[in-house]
Amino acid sequence: MTKKFQALVAMLLAFAMIAAACGSDDEGSAPAEVVEEVVAEAPAEAPAEAPAEVVEEAPAEEAPAEEAPAEEVAEETTVGLVYDLAGRGDQSFNDSAAAGLDASGAIGSESTPNEDGSNRGELLQLAAETNDIVIGVGFAFAEDMAAVAPANPDTNFAIVDEVVEADNVASLIFAEEQGSYLVGAAAALKSETGHIGFIGGVSIGLILKFEAGYTAGAKSVNPDIIVDVKYISDPPDFSGFGDPGSAKEIANSMYAGGADVVYHAAGGSGGGLFEAAKETSEAGTHVWAIGVDSDQYLTADASVQPYILTSMLKRVDVAVQTVIEAQAAGTFVGNVTTFDLSVDGVGYSTSGGFVDDIAAELDAIKADIVSGAIVVPTAP
């Protein structure tokens, strides 16, 4: 029984007692039209004129909030999603986070930092003032979130790809090296030249995990394979995550040098790799590109799809949806959660069917990683 209903019953009982004291013809009863309204709201087993203490013990009519379907509960939750620099529409990292918000059914407000990212803290604070939970999509939010979260103890926060130690912050971490190991193995299995490449957006510790896993996976298949490695930019220059022109130039150089499979971990720059793979292939030598974060075969232009071998799946969508649903259900915990192969937090895509012939080998490698038989390095 709701608090509202209990208050209504008590008020009506008091009204009935006053009416009786004033000489009502029907002693002990509220006016008929009022009783009808109470009965309409009351549970069938609780008489409208029952004493207040009996009414309080009547079975609750409404299900507890935690028993409601997750999608219904989430609809009442407000989420402030603050993207990394490229924002929604990057066909990669940010779009994966957006997919998680969309799947949750929650009410979302979305924002993207300015070109140099200098207003990240301001955006987090603004989102905290009007939302139940605020999610920063990317490691670059760590410093600002470490300041904003303690200043807003009644709001919960989550950050992707970094750890912020605060009671109201959930840190969502991924085993990118494990997923990269699988696509590295796929690259080696598909390469006809024994020569492959890796393009990193910015040479930071996070992206080095992608390189390390990719190289280790490829060498597990072919110890003699050549792996070209090139980063678009170095910190504090983070433009490498949004520079498809440079990615295309690097990819063309790798293909011209003999690489026939190139993997990128460069966010929005990846479109340049796909264009290079298309142009090189149409010029007479079929080559492959490997996407990152989301299944980029599904989001890329149809003209480049024939050249996207697979993508390393980093399930930012699952992580975002999971933390939103925890907030909605009242089970949010400020801790570190790692999404790895054992929970399908990372993996590889099969769209296009280009890895169907090696899927059994890749799945066997995955099983060995999950069991611990293979330990994937996190640094080159």
Q: Tell me, what's the pLDDT at 76?
A: 87
DSSP string of 158-210, one letter each residue: EEESS----TTEEEEEE-HHHHHHHHHHHHHHH-SSSEEEEEEEE-SHHHHHH
Number of neighbouring beta carbons within 10 Å of residue 139: 17
At residue 368 the predicted structure's pLDDT band, cuts being 50, 70 and 90, is: very high
Compute φ and ψ for 244, nearest 5 degrees: -65, -25
Token output for 40: 């309409």
> Which comes out higher in pLDDT, residue 242 or 172?
172
Q: Tell me, what's the pLDDT at 57?
A: 39
Q: Dump pLDDT digits (tens) for 72-120.
A: 556 689 999 999 988 898 888 899 999 999 999 999 999 999 988 999 9
Least confident of 46-60, 94-108, 208-222: 46-60
Q: Is the pTM of this model over 0.85?
A: no
Domains of the chain from N-terminus onward: 3-62 (no CATH), 77-174 (3.40.50.2300), 176-314+350-371 (3.40.50.2300)
- Nearest 5°: CA angle at 30, between 28 and 31? 130
User: Given a cut of 70, is residue 59 above it in pLDDT?
Assistant: no
DSSP string of 292-329, one letter each residue: EES-HHHHS-TTTGGGEEEEEEE-HHHHHHHHHHHHHH
At residue 188 the predicted structure's pLDDT band, cuts being 50, 70 and 90, is: very high
Q: Dump pLDDT digits (tens) for 244-287.
A: 999 999 999 999 999 999 999 998 899 999 999 999 999 999 99
Identity (one letter) of the amino acid at 217? G
Q: 3-class SS at 282?
A: helix
Give the Cα separation of 361 and 364 in Å (integer).
5
Q: Tell me, what's the pLDDT at 65?
A: 42
Give the Cα separation of 276 and 290 in Å (integer).
12
Q: Give the number of C-alpha atoms closer than 13 A to the C-alpha of residue 2, restricted to the C-beta side.
A: 8
Q: Mean per-residue pLDDT for 342-358? A: 97
Give the Cα separation of 209 and 13 in Å (integer).
69
DSSP string of 29-57, one letter each residue: ---HHHHHHHHHHS-TTS-TT--HHHHHH
Number of neighbouring beta carbons within 10 Å of residue 88: 16
Token output for 369: 């990683």
Nearest to 311 by CA among 339, 284, 348, 340: 348
Q: Dump pLDDT digits (tens) for 301-310.
A: 999 999 999 9
What are the Cα distances from residue 279, in Å, to 192, 210, 252, 287, 372? 19, 26, 9, 10, 41
Q: Tell me, what's the pLDDT at 301?
A: 95
Beta pairing, strands 169-174 & 195-202: unpaired
What phi-psi label fits residue 70: left (phi over 0), alpha (psi between -120 and 50 degrees) or beta?
alpha
